[in-house]
Amino acid sequence: MQFYALCRRSVISGLCGFAFLFLGGCGAVDSGDGSSEGTDAAADTAADVSTASVEPLSIGAIPDQDPEMLQRLYSRLVDYLSAELGVPVEYEPVTDYAAAVTAFKVGDLDLVWFGGLTGVQARLQVPGAQAIVQRDIDESFHSIFIANTASGLEPIDDISGLKSLMGKTFTFGSESSTSGRLMPQFFLKEAGVALTDFKGEPGFSASHDATLKLVEAGSFDAGVVNEQVWLDRVAAGEVDEGKVLAIWQTPPYYNYYWLVNADKLNAEYGEGFTDKVQTALLNLNASDPQQAEILELFGAEKFIETENDNYAEIEAIGREIGKINE
């Protein structure tokens, strides 16, 4: 019966797609598990677990590294969470930082994997929002300043060495990236380098990989990327080390974490639900092959606890730089 329904749906969608090309119809009802379809798949799985009348738990993420793996990552996670929590879970694809923060604020995303800064931005707009879990590596996260070898920039020993970037062209990553913008800008400021000290305006490449390539190309003399991405790309041999070199590793700071809309979820699924979510995430175990895959996709050995107070520094810097206006 289900098989029959599936066939019929694909036939309809195929016919409609065909009709469009020639006549201007438009592809119609389609099943599947692609982009927004990831949601369908999630909802389907969830339906097995719980009754359909329960509002699904919406999870989201801001893609910061390897985002084309998001699909795989999140369908695994959706399966795991819905099984653990006993409620339907769905994944909403959002690729813009500001969009994810806004969606969290208006209550369309309940559990989001945020970067340090965006997490604070989101938390400040939602009373009762809680940082619950982060990866082992997020406790002491670093950014790496990189430079093109032809720029004449040399590796530096301490923060004051950042002064050598004055008069060079420089690019950040995405505007609200913690590791690609906020913390680097903070350290630059500490070193006494203002954004106006660069040659021209600093660029905003929109992603770590783009920063890496633009510096490798020499279009910008220097840039800054997330350490995880840097190490990953170097290990994969995707970085031409004859052209780009790491010049400085920043001091550690807190980064990525799961932020949950605690008040809303506790009201919707019962008191203590937030704790269940936290426990479920903390329980992800590398010895289970399915769960190990989730951890691997996140680039983590394990998840650990975190709390709102850990991000006080990021909040302060965010205010200083003008990225937080609450």
Q: Scanning residues 91 to 110, which ones bind another protein (CB under 8 A)?
A: 92-99, 101-103, 105-109
Residues 112 to 171 in contact with another protein, rule: CB under 8 A: 121, 125, 148, 150, 169, 171
Is residue 59 packed enough to be buried (19+ CB in 10 Å), middle (13-18) or exposed (0-12)?
buried
Of the listed pieces 19-27, 73-81, 126-134, 289-297, which binds another protein according to CB under 8 A?
Answer: 19-27
CB of 218 to another protein, least distance (A): 4
What phi-psi label fits residue 208: left (phi over 0), alpha (psi between -120 and 50 degrees) or beta? alpha
Nearer to another protein, 27 or 252 (CB): 27
Q: 141 to each of 116, 183, 294, how far by Cα in Å? A: 10, 10, 20
**Best CA proximity match to 146, nearest among 212, 240, 66, 238:** 212
Amino acid at 8: R
Cβ–Cβ under 8 Å, residues 89 and 82: yes
Taking CB under 8 A as the binding criterion, the range among 32-40, 139-147, 253-261, 266-274 that sits at the site for another protein is 32-40
Q: What x/- string results for residues 38 through 77 when contact with another protein is judged by CB under 8 A?
A: --------------------x----x-xxxx-xx------
Instruction: For the segment 227-256, give every residue that binds another protein (CB under 8 A).
Output: 243
Q: Show the site string, 163-192: x = touches another protein by CB under 8 A, - = not.
A: ------x-x--xxx----------------
Q: How many residues bind another protein (CB under 8 A)?
A: 76
Q: Binding residue for another protein (CB under 8 A) from 5, 11, 36, 309?
A: 36
Is 45 or 71 the residue whose CB approaches another protein more closely? Answer: 71
Is residue 10 involved in binding another protein (CB under 8 A)? no
Cβ proximity of 285 and 173 under 8 Å: no
104 vs 273, beta carbon nearer another protein: 104
Sign of CA dihedral 279, 281, 282, 288: positive
Q: How far is CA 229 from the centre of its chain?
A: 12
111's enclosing H/E stretch is strand 111-114
